[in-house]
Structure 1
Amino acid sequence: MKQTEIFVVEYKLHGHSKSFVIRTKKMRNEDAWHWASCDAGLAPIPKPGKPPLKVMSRPQAERFGVTDVKWRETAALEWMDG
């Protein structure tokens, strides 16, 4: 079965819960912290197909108020006929 390549990232910014959905080929904890920083407006969003200019690390993100970053893959839908 093919991976969905769609992930949900949840985090807190200054104690307020936030979440977003992102489509990407891979997701690791390091990636989730960087994307949460992008969503929070702390890091620039990279252009499609190009690496980010600077990846925001967990310690850097925490200094700006990003905490409790969690991610999960979305469930793949299986359509049934009939």
Structure 2
Amino acid sequence: MSQTDIFVIDYKLHGQPKSFAIRAKAMRNVDAWHWASCDAGLVPVPKPGKPPLKVMSKPQAERFGVTDVKWRETNALVWTEA
């Protein structure tokens, strides 16, 4: 299976389900919590190639209503001519 570098992050913000896709070289739970916090507007989105100004941790995000963060890698598409 080829590496797609596209991940889907699902989370809840104050009980409301949210979801988004992000392109990243790698994804870990720590990264998913931070990106969910960015999507929720709690921390600024870092500029490409620069480290984040502030990394939001799971306990910090939970205080602001972000919960149930889950992530998954997308399936790679195989384009073949028929």
Q: Give the TM-score range, shorter chain.
A: over 0.9
Report the counterpart of residue 16 of structure 1 in structure 2: 16
TM-score norm. by structure 2 comes to 0.97
Q: Which amino acid in structure 2 is aligned with residue 62 of structure 1?
A: E
- Structure 1 CA distance for aligned equivalents of residues 53 and 81 of structure 2: 46
Q: CA RMSD in A?
A: 0.8
Shift of 1:80: 1.9
Q: Which amino acid in structure 1 is aligned with residue 48 of structure 2?
A: P
- Structure 2 CA distance for aligned equivalents of residues 39 and 80 of structure 1: 35
Q: Which runs of 5+ in 1 are unaligned?
A: none
Q: Name the % identity.
A: 78
Structure 1 runs (4+) deviating above 6 angstroms are none
Shift of 1:36: 0.1
Report the counterpart of residue 47 of structure 2 in structure 1: 47
Shift of 1:54: 1.0
Shift of 1:2: 3.2
TM-score norm. by structure 1 comes to 0.97
Number of residue pairs aligned between Structure 1 and Structure 2? 82
Q: Which runs of 5+ in 2 are unaligned?
A: none
